[in-house]
Structure 1
Amino acid sequence: MSIITRNNVRVTGDGAATMMFAHGFGCDQTMWRFMAPAFADRYRTVTFDLTGSGGSDLRAYDHARYGSLHGHADDVLEILDACGATGPVVFVGHSVSTMIGLLATIRAPERFAAQVMVGPSPCYINDGDYVGGFSRADIDELLETMEANYLGWSSSMAPAIMGVPGRPDLRQELTDSFCRNDPEIAKHFARVTFLSDHRADLPLSRVPALILQCSDDLIAPRSVGDYLHRHLPASTLHVIENIGHCPHLSAPTESSQAIDAFLAQTLR
């Protein structure tokens, strides 16, 4: 099976540069439907589903390969090869995919012109002076609850992650997306996601980065954005006044405008 089929890859738009969109945990590429089309007149846009998510081939999810985010980063580079993306690439990742993109830029910096990190976190667990937003006990409890009742966990956590109290439709959409995932794969991917620590990798990426963060985010608090901005070379921090972890859905216009402004400075 080709990787194009395996990862449900979609290529649209036209342009010398490629913009690749990678979704977060529990989601799929449809989450980019409000943003990706806005760039299709200037970029060749690539959307896909992480292996084990959405419309990807679930049989391809190998627990050893995807026991760390490096396996997904390898997929990113393979997808770009399969798409024939020979020009500069702008990688746009949400949540856990921001670190997948970071690892890809470290592996092959020559391929990337810029990276956009939507709601990023290099480490979710508090550690000394580092405030990731959760204690180890919090994360252990989260994973234990998910292990015991994945659908129940999804129904309670997804609305809180989405935020935007005035948009019950988006809160329900994220809940439905979480519930559609294969529970066994989702539980494994959650453990990989929430226990990962990529703080040491930040200085290794020299590709210009936009850190796009919401002012009130349960998953990635402002302290995380500030930390990333201090430790990630050539980074720009932009905070959107918004409640939740998914501004590409709840604040797509503001998100697109921030990306446009960043790229205008970075790619000139």
Structure 2
Amino acid sequence: MDECTIRQRNNVKVFGSGERTLMFAHGFGCDQTMWRYVTDSLQRDHTIITFDYVGSGHSDLSAFSTHRYATLEGYATDITEILDALELDNVILVGHSVSSVIGMIAAMKSPDRVNHLVMVCPSPYYLNDLPEYEGGFEREDLEELIDLMDKNYIGWANYLAPLVMGGGADTHMVEELSGSFCSTDPLVAKTFAKATFFSDHRSLLPNCQIPTLVLQSKIDSLASVKVGEYVSRKLPKGLLRILDTEGHCIHMTNHDEVEAEIRAFLSPKQAASDTPLS
């Protein structure tokens, strides 16, 4: 598949200027536009890559395959194909929510193309596996959520959006997220939801040798502080920052803090240090 085709398929945007390239991967039910709160400033001194997974945003819906996108590896392939098509090297890959894991999978497949990872509110597994792991949900809870998508898709979107955004989010941000959920094709959304909420990628964490910043919201109904601590502890080169924030979309609600943490992580001083952020 040539560069032009991949750019169109994933609605790839390249903008900004700078020696360092930041690639932003959106979360479930979202699209690339939700990164604008962070990229508006970062583009002044970084080259920025944004895109939509197939089935999301303004991607080519005709390229969607339930077989390919039934697992997170299918979404990771979107990323690696973009990286290859644009011939990108030494990229800082920033992923929100499930894209933290998708980004990790892609980076491990293409270690020469990705040299840093930033995980914003990550979770490698949303289900509880007590006593070793507290993912936050029981299987029946998530199955009910998936079932609600079939019975009342709009109701599902209106229920999930405020839960994801958190109590302190502005109304217009909740409405933006709800609208994004509603605009996603129901089959695409259900396929992505199952791949997100029922996959377990905890075993990959110890094998990821890429320096990784984990940005954790202090109050997050989808991925708790315990999850963020688990992720950073299992990553050989994981650095954890727990922000005094509420909600799962801190790249929207607290974008200035997220930008500052990314800049600090990429600073020469931090790059030369082996001391984890705390």
Under TM normalisation by the shorter chain, which class is it? Answer: over 0.9
8 Å contact from structure 1 (residues 208, 266) kept in 2: no
Which residue among 80, 83, 102 is the counterpart of 1:80? 83
Farther-moved stretch of structure 1 (158-167 vs 5-14): 158-167
**Aligned residue type for 2:69:** Y
Matched residue, 1:18: 21
Letter in 2 for 1:96: V
Letter in 2 for 1:64: H
Aligned mates of 1:235, 1:160 — CA distance in 2: 27
User: What SS class does the counterpart of residue 37 from structure 2 fall into?
Assistant: coil
Alignment partner, residue 117 of structure 2: 115
Paired with 1:149 and 1:26, the residues of 2 have a C-alpha distance of 16
Q: 1:166 to 1:40 in 2, by over 3 A?
A: closer
- How far the C-alpha of 1:17 sits from its partner, in A, is 2.5
Can you list the C-alpha shifts for 1:154-189, whole angstroms capped at 9, x where unaligned?
011111111143511111111111111111110111
Moved over 4 A (4+): 265-268
Counterpart code for 1:123? Y
Farther off after superposition, 157-166 or 51-60: 157-166
Identity of aligned residues (%): 46
CA distance in 1, matches of 2:188, 2:77: 18
Report the CA distance between 1:150 and its aligned residue: 1.5
Q: 1:243, 1:174 → 2: CA distance?
A: 16
TM-score by structure 1 length?
A: 0.96
1:138 aligns with 2:108: no
- Give the aligned partner of residue 231 of structure 1: 234
- Distance across 1 between alignment mates of 2:135 and 2:122: 11
Q: Which of 90, 96, 106 is 1:94 aligned to?
A: 96
Counterparts of 1:166 and 1:25, CA distance in 2: 18
Distance 1:98 1:263, change over 3 A: same
Question: In the TM superposition, what whole-angstrom CA distance separates every residue of 1:176-231 from its partner, at most 9, and x where no partner exists?
Answer: 11111111110111011100100001111111001011100011011100100110
Q: Distance in 2 between matches of 1:267 and 1:38?
A: 22
1:2 aligned counterpart, secondary structure: helix
SS at match of 2:213: strand
Unaligned runs of 5+ in 1: none
1:186 is aligned, of 177, 185, 189, to 189
- Candidates 248, 261, 264, aligned match of 1:261: 264
Q: How many residues align?
A: 267
Tell me, yes or no, if the aligned pair for 1:247 and 1:255 is still in contact at 8 Å.
yes
The secondary structure found in structure 2 opposite 1:97 is helix
Structure 2 CA distance for aligned equivalents of residues 119 and 166 of structure 1: 16
Amino acid at match of 2:15: T
Q: For each residue in 1:39-83, what CA deviation from the matched residue of structure 2 results, as whole angstroms up to 9, or x when unmatched?
A: 223221100001110000111111111111111111111111222
Task: Say whether the 8 Å CA contact 1:19–1:46 is kept in structure 2.
Answer: yes
Give the counterpart of 2:160 among 141, 157, 161. 157
1:199 match: 202
Distance 1:181 1:33 in 2: 19
Give the conservation status (yes or no) of the 8 Å contact 1:164–1:242: no
One-letter amino acid of the structure 2 residue matched with residue 187 of structure 1: K
Tell me if structure 1 keeps the 8 A contact 2:169–2:253: no
After superposition, the C-alpha distances for 1:11-42 in whole angstroms (9 at most, x for unaligned) are 00122321100100110000011101222232
Residue ranges of structure 2 left out of the alignment (5+ in a row): 273-278
Q: TM-score, normalised by structure 2?
A: 0.93
